[in-house]
Structure 1
Amino acid sequence: MRVATWLLWAAWWLEQALGEYGMAHFSEKGKVRGKDYCIFFNSQWARLPQDLKKASRIQTFDLTASVLCSPSEVPDGGFPNRIPMVLRGNCTFYEKVRLAQINGARGILIVSKDKLTPPAGNKTQYEEIDIPVALLSYTDMLDISKTFGEGREVAMYAPNEPALDYNMVIIFLMAVGTVAIGGYWAGSRDIKKRYMKHKRDDSAEKQDEETVDVTPIMICVFVVMCCTMLVLLYYFYDHLVYVIIGTFCLASSVSLHSCLWPFVRRIPFGACRIPENNLPYCHKRPQVRMLLLSLFCIGVSATWCVFRNEDQWAWVLQDALGIAFCLYMLKTIRLPTFKACTLLLVVLFVYDVFFVFITPFFTKSGESIMVEVAAGPTNSSTHEKLPMVLKVPRLNSSPLALCDRPFSLLGFGDILVPGLLVAYCHRFDILMQSSRIYFVACTIGYGIGLLITFVALALMEMGQPALLYLVPCTLLTSLAVALWRKELPLFWTGSGFVPPPIIMAPINPTQTPGPPTKAESQAPEAANQDEAPPPSPHPAPEEPSQPKHEVPKPE
């Protein structure tokens, strides 16, 4: 049933895919260097060359004051060997293209203020037209008019889209590295907190953050909140996006401080405290190095918030803050059993698949709610993007990078959800003294699942629910290791996390066993064969004190 549903959806999607992305290279007349702009064309009118060198450079004719829907709008002399730029009007694409072709045009660029849609027609119209037809956005037209003069030339071409972009390697390393480091850090920190006594200072900076054990009820509430928030973002994106941005700034600055403080506290200088004051959050006199670290973290978060739309470099700050946020959450949230891990991963597996593959049947535009919200709705008036993703710009020159999705994205949930299982595996490794085999196997399973996600992305050429591949790879790998080591009952219930029994002081082998004396019961730590117990101020009644005298030596 699922396969049939997916095939029907794929067939519907192919029917809608009438348009293709291409590039329009504008330049001054007689000059080679210029600038590429995104165009949306239909190859059934006329195909475009794949290489810019094979594309003809043709002078444009600015007719953006007209929609070219009637012969009266054609200028005297027509468009001999030119490409007119006209506005999109109420008439059909065929009427525009036919008027342009009859009057000697070599192509036509239709400027659209709305979303770029494929310039469709019927089979008879396709056979009649032999010039390329492409749509250009209105904002790009304004930039072209500002950048180039009236004698500008354009060359339209459509290079092939590569199967995989090199930025996938960067995303893979960031995701796997975050899961491995976060899982290792969270597991080690949790074990130390459970089984070792730390010397704690009264100062707030030396106290570790408390962990939160996830219960089945919390998992259900969390999933309901995720579904509700995603639907609200889909319908009220322009209003809620700023709430998400503000929340991310606050959470990321706290997370960055938490991740950097273990390293900063080892710096030998800056340990002195600030003077007495009545300032908020400073009345406890924090250390100078802690205060400077807080100002640094707030500054990084504020810098990203101000320049978040600078596509050339702001993504570096967003990824750094996002990795810190994921590490902080992996340290704070803890799954106590493999049963809880399975419940969380399976429920979010269904959630991810539903909002990517099933929701296109219910939306008016036929778009996936998950992909639409993650990439930002095309009809958004704010043009803001959600920051809850790792993003890396495409490193190759392609129409898809220029037009539709200039960044490759990976949501924080695709890191946090499997990362919680990796952290559980590491804690179990330490307690069972299993040489971290669960941790290593689960991390490798996560990497394999991410690679499968990239392959599916290249084959289907559409957004993928990463948990569809990550959940089976991590869960089945951990389960297989537990079965192989015959530790599944302990691994499933978390029975290995029972605190160890209290070990009594060793008994002196030179003494015969017997009931403990009163002195031993009061001070068991003093019972050592090399050290005598401390003298009691009140001697026991059954052992009366003897008078002190010297024993005479025998003659």
Structure 2
Amino acid sequence: MAARPARLRLWLLLHLLPQVYCEYGMVHVLSEKGSSKGKDYCILFNSQWAHLPHDLGKASLLQLQDQTASVLCSPSDVPDGGFNNQIPMVMRGNCTFYEKVRLAQINGARGLLIVSRERLVPPGGNRSQYEEIDIPVALLSYTDMLDIGKSFGSSVKGAMYAPNEPVLDYNMVIIFVMAVGTVAIGGYWAGSRDVKKRYMKHKRDDGAEKHDDETVDVTPIMICVFVVMCCSMLVLLYFFYDHLVYVIIGIFCLAASIGLYSCLSPFVRRVPLGKCRIPDNNLPYFHKRPQVRMLFLAVFCISVSVVWGIFRNEDQWAWALQDALGIAFCLYMLKTIRLPTFKGCTLLLLVLFVYDVFFVFITPFLTKTGESIMVEVAAGPSDSATHEKLPMVLKVPRLNSSPLALCDRPFSLLGFGDILVPGLLVAYCHRFDIQVQSSRVYFVACTIAYGIGLLVTFVALALMQMGQPALLYLVPCTLLTSFVVALWRRELAMFWTGSGFAKDLPQPPVVVAPVNCPPLPKDSIVPASQQDTEQMTNPTLHVKELHSSASAEEELADTSAKTDQSEISVAHSEKPTAQNKDDLESKCLNAEQKQLE
């Protein structure tokens, strides 16, 4: 039993050593003629060979010598005259990093750039080799080497340096605003729409505008199936990324167009133009005769998704379009998917909490490369032949100039799941607020808790400098906050089962008794028709009938007392005209609507 922890520590040490010595840096390249601006390229170096300055102003600007025709593994690969105060660029292969850098140093080089066609790995060696070498050595990608020759020609200078990474990039502020805003708007919209739908369901006349979108109540079985599907899809993407990534891109285009249509349709319906409908036809969708304005909206939404699909790899602006489509998709999902109880919310969040933590922190011990499956799939495998990225994330480019922006992760990412999963709880809190009339205390508290959890995620990301499972921080913040609020308000039992909702309470009858609407005497108005006159009740005639009947004296006394009260109220009221009758009926209808609400 003691040998197993020892083997585990050795395995961890072997897997963590390359990461300890691996550092990202930059090589600043410019033409010797000085006719063009310089450009930074990513390099991967090992600080144990030699340290690089953190400031470009302190870095030595030396001539880059293109020796990519050789691999610099033997003295015959050294050109005549050696590398007099130059930085040679040689190809990777055929010998160790130490042999290359030793030949370069002996022949007067001030640094070494090893060009690699494969994935960049840190140049390593043993302790004695590190002590022998005092010039920096770094790896440069083959595509960057070609770009240097194309942009600056053969006569170029370069300076290698490694600026410090900023603790927190400014793009985190943009991601924070987008995420919290989406959760708040989506939760508020979903709760208000659900309550309005309940009211319209019990109203006698739904009106001309009906809600076509139907919500889907999530059950525990659906949650289990969903988690199994997520795990399976993530594993399949890890092993077959280049084949399945295009399927995910196609699904995103379709879902994003639907979400954009759902978000824009309430605004388009307010436009007074294009209300006419298309003629009768037998086409699959057009047989419903949609309005022209809604047809144009559908075409617009599909066009936006197609434009993103074509130009999705344009890093300058495609990310903004992807974020807009992603936010629309999240709002649509929050509006459509409905968790009916806090018990269901707790089950969903806890299961996905375990799922997120497992695939970020546990899977590095199960993969050959030591990479997290979640981070690898979300950011895209570095050895992918397609170089495609999954679109199911909000992404914002790094605003600070840093090696990490050039080399590893030029974008900061936040997955849709980190918005949708807590957002469903926020939507539940808003629905519960409206039903129990709690002044939206649950909704506000849960939204603030989500924002705090997201801030904690960013702090952990800055401190650990590695991908973080956001649900690790978001789930405890939102769940515990909602639980504490319900406990503080002594509504935990009702909040847990969702029993405060209108569907579980006795529904008001369809015809509600008039409120503060006294009966109208028959001879008090000029009737519009004989039928209207017959429909009015006259308490006085009712009393006469009771007096003429052979009923008991007790019944007559009770009825006479009630009639006297009715006659007194009528006697002290003015005789209503036809206009007064309309006003009274209007008041009654308003009171009925308030009772329904």
Instruction: State the TM-score, normalized to the length of structure 1.
Output: 0.89
Give the counterpart of 2:507 among 501, 515, 523. Answer: 501
**Take 1:424 and 1:451, find their aligned partners in 2: how far apart are those partners?**
23
Separation in structure 2 between the aligned mates of residue 445 and residue 529 of structure 1, nearest angstrom: 62
**Match of 1:105, SS?**
coil
1:24 aligns with 2:27: yes
Residue type of the alignment partner of 2:269:
R
- SS at the partner of 2:287? coil
The answer for the alignment partner of 1:96 in structure 2 is 100
Q: Do the aligned partners of residues 288 and 507 (structure 1) sit closer, same or farther apart at CA in structure 2, a change above 3 Å counting?
A: closer
Q: Describe how 1:52-131 pairs up with structure 2 within 5 A.
A: 52-131=56-135
Instruction: Give the whole-Å Cα distance in 1 for the aligned partners of 2:356 and 2:532.
Output: 62
CA distance in 1, matches of 2:436, 2:364: 46
Tell me what 1:15 maps to: 17
Residue in 2 that maps onto 1:400: 404
Hey, what does 1:374 align to over in structure 2? 378
Answering whether residue 433 of structure 2 is matched by residue 433 of structure 1, we say: no
Question: Can you list the C-alpha shifts for 1:260-310, whole angstroms capped at 9, x where unaligned?
Answer: 001100001111122344555223321111011011100100000000000
Partner of 2:328: 324
Q: 2:141 aligns with which of 133, 137, 141?
A: 137
Is the deviation greater in 325-334 or in 47-56?
Answer: 47-56
Asked whether the 8 Å contact 2:49–2:137 carries over to 1, the reply is yes
SS of equivalent to 1:409:
strand
User: 1:508, 1:528 within 8 Å by CA — same for their partners in 2?
Assistant: no
Native 8 Å contact 2:319 2:395 kept in 1: yes
What residue is the counterpart of 1:550 in the other structure?
A: none
Tell me if 1:164 matches 2:172.
Answer: no
Long gaps (5+) in structure 2: 520-530, 539-544, 550-597
| 1:409 counterpart (408, 413, 430) | 413
After TM superposition, the structure 1 stretch with the greater mean CA deviation from structure 2, 11-20 or 469-478, is 11-20
Instruction: Report the counterpart of residue 532 of structure 1 in structure 2.
Output: 537
Paired residue secondary structure (1:77): coil
DSSP 3-state at the match of 2:500: helix
Identity percentage over the alignment? 77
- Hey, what's the Cα distance between the residues in 2 that align with 1:460 and 1:528? 83
| Residue 50 (structure 1) aligned with residue 54 (structure 2) | yes
* Matches of 2:515 and 2:177, distance apart in 1: 54
**Offset of 1:530 from its aligned partner?**
10
- Aligned counterpart in structure 2 of residue 351 of structure 1, from 355, 360, 371: 355
- Shift in alpha-carbon separation, 1:492–1:34, aligned structure 2, 3 A: same
Question: C-alpha distance in 1, partners of 2:310/2:278?
Answer: 30
Q: Does 1:241 align with 2:245?
A: yes
2:137 alignment partner AA: V
Q: Is 1:207–2:211 an aligned residue pair?
A: yes
Paired positions, count: 516
- After superposition, the C-alpha distances for 1:389-444 in whole angstroms (9 at most, x for unaligned) are 00000001000001100000000000000000000000000011000000000000
> Could you tell me how far 1:453 is from its partner in structure 2?
0.2
The residue number in structure 1 matching 2:472 is 468
Deviates more, 1:216-225 or 1:45-54: 45-54
Distance (Å, rounded) in 1 between the aligned partners of 2:429 and 2:79: 74
Q: What is the TM-score normalised by the length of structure 2? A: 0.83
Bigger shift: 95-104 or 267-276?
A: 267-276
CA contact (8 A) 1:234 1:373 kept: yes
Whether the 8 Å contact between 1:453 and 1:466 is mirrored in structure 2 is yes
1:196 aligns to what SS in structure 2? helix
Match of 1:285 in 2: 289
SS of 2:289's equivalent in the other structure is coil
Report the Cα distance in structure 2 between the residues aligned to 1:508 and 1:129, rounded to whole angstroms.
Answer: 97
Whole-angstrom distance in 1 between the partners of 2:435 and 2:282? 46
Once the two structures are TM-superposed, the CA of residue 70 in structure 1 deviates from its matched residue by: 0.7
Could you tell me whether the CA contact under 8 Å between 1:391 and 1:408 is conserved in 2? yes
Give the CA deviation at 1:464: 0.1
Report the Cα offset of residue 208 of structure 1.
Answer: 2.6
Question: Which residue number in structure 1 is paired with residue 587 of structure 2?
Answer: none
For residues 207 and 212 of structure 2, the distance between their equivalents in structure 1, rounded to whole angstroms, comes to 11
**Separation in 2, partners of 1:12, 1:44:** 17
Separation in structure 2 between the aligned mates of residue 468 and residue 490 of structure 1, nearest angstrom: 27
Q: Which amino acid aligns with 2:24?
A: Y
Q: Compared with structure 1, are the counterparts of its residues 362 and 529 closer, same or farther at alpha carbon in structure 2 (3 Å cutoff)?
A: farther
Contact preservation (8 Å) 1:335, 1:424: yes
Cα gap change, 1:510/1:266 in structure 2, threshold over 3 Å: closer, same or farther?
Answer: closer
SS in 1 for 2:236: helix
Partners of 1:508 and 1:529 within 8 A in 2: no
Distance 2:537 2:42 in 1: 89
Please give the alpha-carbon distance, in whole angstroms, between the structure 2 residues aligned to 1:449 and 1:375: 22
Contact 1:161–1:400 (Cα < 8 Å) also in 2: yes
What is the rounded CA distance, in whole Å, between the counterparts of 2:433 and 2:12 in structure 1? 43
* Rounded Cα–Cα distance in structure 1 between residues aligned with 2:186 and 2:323: 15
Contact 1:200 1:207 in 2 (8 A): no
Q: Which runs of 5+ in 1 are unaligned?
A: 512-525, 534-539, 545-555
Q: Which amino acid aligns with 1:16?
A: P
